[in-house]
Amino acid sequence: MQRLMHYIHGQWCPPASGEFLPVVEPATGEVYAEVGAGSSADVEAAVQAAQAAFPAWASMSVRQRAHYLLRIAEGIEARLALWAEAESRDTGKPLSLAQQVDIPRAALNFEFFATAIMQMASESYQTGTQAINYVLRQPLGVVACISPWNLPLYLFTWKIAPALAAGNCVVAKPSELTPMTATLLAGLCQEVGLPPGVLNIVHGTGSDVGEPMVVHPQVKAVSFTGGTRTGSRIAALAAPQFKKLSLELGGKNPTIVFADANYEQALEMSVRAAFRNQGEICLCGSRLLVEASLYERFKTDFVKKVQGLRVGDPLDPATDLGALISDAHRQKVLSYVALAKEEGGRILTGGKALELPGRCAHGYFMEPTVIEGLDAHCRTNQEEIFGPVVTLIPFNTEEEAIYIANATPYGLSASVWTQNLARAHRVAAAIEAGIVWVNTWMLRDLRTPFGGVKASGVGREGGFEALRFFTEPKNVCISY
């Protein structure tokens, strides 16, 4: 069975503990690999490797650094087919999704930040005729990047690429549930000759590896994507050392459909927003708010479309929803369906675990689930479920839609459907979220700031925001 090792100082390293964790294929329920169970000793080795590599990497020309990143991007593109299979196997997501979204986007992340760093400028200010101020943007040193299991390589590289482009050395940890493509990335870095220590990958759990990374005094910044509770723990651990933090956390995002929306587009996209990647995307629209005058018609058509979605073997090109990440996670999602019933919700379709025939008989599949009849303030409508479950909520006025949209602790994204331009602007401005889409969902431009408000996090990724996060501004004032 394949054993995935740490990647430290350009070399494959077994875990200091000598122990390994099982890696399960969610579609079959079978253990198909093992991953090093890292510990603080491995983190220490990785931080020292990164620290040693830092002076040379930071003083390299921007063009040279960009060149390495572009070679990594090309390498990912050249391996798209194989890496998409690896990502699908590791996560349970449809292979088609990994081919179309996860792996191309990982390549694009490197390409984007390689070119962005070559365009980055800093400010300067003239003080009358006496002085000039200019701002140096210097890399921080060693930084930590910690990512979740739902979009493994996509989110891992979304952090690593800007950190490296800006001149930092990285100690990174993928989710212990999905370590495969991060390991493939390490192999690619070795192949393209990325200098040893510039990128180090330590595998293992959040408590054994993530926390030692966060508290390590030589780690200057932590870029984290994951659950809100974990984000809060990381913030508490990092605070005494005043580390820079970027926290991309959970969501409970509204899709808001007004009666004047383009009906077919709103219908199709709200199904996609609810169930893409089995609903395991932080940006998924898990609360579907529909104007009362449209509600019954929309509900009927929405449920019909959801019933037409195919849950199946991730390798089957016809599959819309693959397996959930783990049995434990499926149990959690199902427990929310039970809670919804207790809270008075009606299950319009789905709600149950699914047993598939053949190779996937022991996989973690679940029916796409639609629930109505719940109050906006009940737990089902307040807490992140992170699975194929959406609730339908009718509203009467624009004010009520905005009120319900904002009535959760989260504030990551929203998708608003209307053909009334003035309303689109009003609602977009009033919604408490880092990202509002109007008449679309998950359309991304990597130059835009990405992140959440309230319990969805602090800081922004993307574009120059990410490059600013991974650098420290230093103002130099020269009198003349």
Q: Which residues bind ligand NAD (CB under 6 A)?
A: 146-150, 155, 173, 175-176, 205-207, 210-211, 214, 225-227, 230, 233-234, 248-251, 282, 384, 386, 412, 452, 457
What letters, b where the CB count within 10 A reaches 16 and e where it falls short, cover 62-74? eeebbebbebbbe
What phi and psi, each to the nearest 5 degrees, are found at residue 80?
A: -50, -50
Nearest distance, CB of residue 50 and ligand NAD, angstroms: 17
Cα–Cα distance measured from residue 354 to residue 387, given in angstroms and rounded to the nearest whole number: 14
Nearest distance, CB of residue 408 and ligand NAD, angstroms: 13
> How far does Cα 396 stand from its chain's mean position?
33
Among candidate residues 87, 111, 176, 248, the one labeled active-site is 248
* Active-site annotation holds for 44: no
The two tokens of residue 306 are 């959801």
Nearest distance, CB of residue 81 and ligand NAD, angstroms: 25
The two tokens of residue 211 are 């926390």
CA atoms within 13 A on the CB side of 370: 23
Cβ neighbours of residue 65 closer than 8 Å, sequence gap 6 or more: 57, 114, 117, 164, 165, 167
Cα–Cα distance measured from residue 373 to residue 77, given in angstroms and rounded to the nearest whole number: 46
Contact indicator for 443, 285 with CB cutoff of 8 Å: no
The residues that are catalytic are: 248
